[in-house]
Copies of this chain bind each other. A is one copy, B any other.
C-alpha cells in the first residue's frame, strides 16, 4: 500500500487478500457436468478470505499471512465487539481470486503481475493447510467442534453465495 510518511519505499506486495465476515457462505467446488450435479461447500458464521498471489511470492510469507489474517480483529461478536476469527471462533471459506491482481489498462484489466499457475496452486494449497492447522488448534483449545475450513478449487470459477450481517470488507496485503 502507498506510504506518505517519508519512510523508505516498501517492497511491492506479493499477496493480496480481501476479507469479509459472513453468517453463511456457499461456494461451488465442482461445476455440474453431464452426469453429475455441481458440488458445493458451505460455512456458517466466520470469514471469507479471497486470496491472490503475485510474482515473487514464496512459501516464506505464508506463516505470517495466516497468523495475521486469523488473529486480526476483523469479525464482530454477538455483543458488537471486534474479534479475530480464531477468538470468535468462526469458520473460514478460502476463495482463490486471481482477479484481485488486476490492473486497469484502458478499459480492460491485465493480470500480468499474478503468479504462474503452478506456483499459485502450490502456495494456495499450503495457505489452506496452514489455515486449517491454526483454526483447528484454536478450536480444540476452545472446545469448539463446529468450526471448519472450506475452500474453493484453484483455477475454477468461484460461484459464491454470501449472507452477512455486514461484511466489514477489509484489504490486507503482504
The reply on A34 being an interface residue by CB < 8 A is no
The reply on A109 being an interface residue by CB < 8 A is yes
Query: Given the known A-B contacts A73-B109, A74-B109, A170-B100, are A165 and B161 also in contact in the complex, defined by CB atoms under 8 Å?
Result: no
- List B contacts of A165 (CB < 8 A): 157, 159
- List B contacts of A3 (CB < 8 A): 12
- List B contacts of A161 (CB < 8 A): 162-164
The reply on A142 being an interface residue by CB < 8 A is no
The reply on A2 being an interface residue by CB < 8 A is yes
Main secondary structure of the interface of A (DSSP, over half): loop
- Minimum CB–CB distance for A79 against chain B, Å: 14
State in angstroms the CA–CA spacing of A166 and B95 once bound together.
Answer: 10
The reply on A30 being an interface residue by CB < 8 A is no
The reply on A169 being an interface residue by CB < 8 A is yes
- Minimum CB–CB distance for A43 against chain B, Å: 15
The reply on A155 being an interface residue by CB < 8 A is no
The reply on A102 being an interface residue by CB < 8 A is yes
8 Å CB contact of A164 from B2, B16, B103, B159: B159
Q: Are B104 and A84 in contact (CB under 8 A)?
A: no
Report 15 cross-chain contacts, Cβ distance below 8 Å, ordered by A residue.
A1-B1, A2-B10, A2-B11, A2-B13, A9-B9, A72-B108, A72-B109, A73-B107, A73-B109, A82-B108, A97-B169, A99-B170, A102-B170, A159-B165, A171-B171
Besides the known contacts A82-B109, A157-B165, A171-B171, 4 further A-B residue pairs in the complex with CB atoms under 8 A apart: A18-B18, A73-B109, A160-B162, A162-B164
Q: List 10 A-B pairs, minimum CB-CB distance, nearest first.
A: A2-B12, A162-B162, A157-B166, A4-B12, A99-B168, A160-B164, A97-B169, A161-B163, A50-B169, A102-B170
